[in-house]
Structure 1
Amino acid sequence: MADKTFLNWPFFEPRHKVLAESLDLWAAGTVAAVDHSDTDSACRILVKAMGDAGWLQSSAAGAGETFDVRALCLTRETLARHDGLADFAFAMQGLGTGALSLFGTPAQQEDWLPLTRTGKAIAAFALTEPQSGSDVANSTMTATRDGDSYVLNGEKTWISNGGIADVYTVFARTGDAPGARGLSAFVIPADVPGFEVVERLETIAPHPLARLRFADCRIPASALIGAQGQGFKIAMSVLDVFRSTVAAAALGFARRALDEALKRVSTREIQGATLFDLQMVQGHIADMATDVDAAALLVYRAAWAKDTGAPRITREAAMAKLFSTDQAQIVIDQAVQLFGGDGVKSGEVVEKLYREIRALRIYEGASDVQKVIIARQTMAAFQGD
């Protein structure tokens, strides 16, 4: 049984405990029943199920609302503990519409947020390009103003929900300035002429991913999110909210791995005793439990800071993502080792966790990029900037 004592930590309010426990019960009875043989279909089913049950309400924040980052993190941790694709489906509803929540006009929010919050529309966040992964300022896709329209040309890749999304938040260069200052953000429906999905991308843990192409794709000027030239600021503001939730998902994977390992070592016998009776195994369990708790402290420190008024949590979120994703990889690897041959058997829980965790150390800022962010933020604080 997953440890839930952390819900009594002072980071949380009573409603957060209710959320985590209620979602845990729902996920146990719903998520496992979804057929995952067709990834696109499973993702659509999960989004609809979460929308029908009301779990997607926290994924967006409309006029007069703010994100509850602790609720976002608890939701991702809980879903990830049950199913990686369910976590993915929830996360992309939030990330895909995050720019609308934070910077969208009332009309943009009214058009899309009621749909994504109820699971009637699927969202995507299109930032990465073939030549620019972590280097967002190196984006080359263009959005050229033409009267009351913008004309988009270029490609995006590794776009989550690419191919199944109904709405995309797309970042393109509007030429206002070089580098990061020349980007703008747009909300684009999937059926707009000139937009196409040119390649579906397969990964070790199946998720809907695609390469997108925009060829003389004309959109109304009203599709601009925020002001022209604000794209980099918008993208970073969205990631400032959602980066700590990636850490929460990694925490959910690690908790599940620890639970599976505890079941294994308490029931598997070797030389007349259980695996747990071996002192080396106890050492592994101790390391895994410590890593899980340390990750949880970093995750919910970051979320609590944002919810209690911190304007930015760049350093805290980067620390949470770096530590939680890297240590979850170690915890899961240790669980695989404790399972022996069964640990690498296709379909085993720990084998699926092993494949699921790897991408989290890359997307929304790879681990090495997080180290750069942490170092620069730490130096700036030291120098009093």
Structure 2
Amino acid sequence: MEGKWPGWGADAGLVVLTFLPTLLSQPYVDTSGPAWASLAAYEASGVVVVLLRRRLPATALVVGFGALVVALVGSAGEGAKLSPLVFLPTAVLFYNLGSHCVSWRRTVSAVLGVVVLGVAGLWLNRMTTDSSDFRGGLDVLAALAPMPLAWVTGFAARTRQALLAAAEQRAAEARRTQALEAAQAAQRERARIAGEMHDVVAHSLTLLVVHAETLRARGGELPDWARVQVDGLAAAGRQSSGELRDLLGMLRDPADAVPLRPVPNLGELDALLDSHRAAGGTVELTMGIARGVPGAVQLAGYRVVQEALVNARRHAPGAPVRVTVEVVAGGLRCEVVNGRAVRRGAAGAGIGLGLVSMEKRVVALGGDLTTGPTGDGGFRVVATMPLECAGV
């Protein structure tokens, strides 16, 4: 309802500016009763025509001009004159015809109708009026002469609006094309990265799993401690292969980025810790969480613990690890602390992005990650994530 008020307000303002000047100027032209009667009838019909001009531009022009002819001829027949400003509504209707009528056939028909009405009005005026003072002539032609200019002005306004609309449409299409090209470029880059990862990482990981399975097949020739290590190595390789397949599928087609396996959560920490123990590590878990932890927070907590355990195996092999997961103050707190390394860590292990990845996951959920060495030569990772800020 509010959107209609500006249109109605513009129409009301146009009616006032179009018809009020005629009423104000009429006392200076003729104050006789026939003049006022003709003017009142004309303006009453003219207001209706002006209000309906947008819906029926051609009809409004013909009807409005016909009402003008009747008023002028009728008042002249009674020996009365109307103010020259009665032609203002006709100028408005001509402008409206140019700005709203898109059919050339209707436009030509309306103009021909106006011409016919004008000629008929002049003929009737000469037939019904004896005095030359009330016969239309050059004064009528002078008043009608600017009307084509009003139509041209309306036509120019409509053309400009059409050009602006076309320009906006072209700009919108250009933006859509640019966005599509950017998406296609991103898709090509993802496909390239997926191909590189498949050729390099997947190949090496497959070889790792094959060697581990070969060692398992010859487990009778290995000592007990080696068989346990090989089993853990094979299980970790198979899990990494599955996660890599999911990642490559997501890179190739994000629209089909549905994991092939369930997304891990905190309920699977026991299995994660068992794999750490199978790799020769020592770990202790303390769980103190309640139900209702959002899935995104659980996934982030799982990944933090997973990455912290991997770092402990790389840089502090054999060190005892303590994992604490609990809900405190409306947030999830994950703490992983490892002690001093029992033996020397692998030189050059990892690529140095584990802590960065953890921090990005935690910060994306509105949390905070704190990492650093402990006083006894160990390392400590603490992640806190608010439950209500999870985007799930």
Bigger radius of gyration: 2
TM-score by length of 2: 0.23
Q: Which structure would you say has the larger RCO, counting Cα contacts within 8 Å and 6 or more residues apart?
A: 1
TM-score by length of 1: 0.23
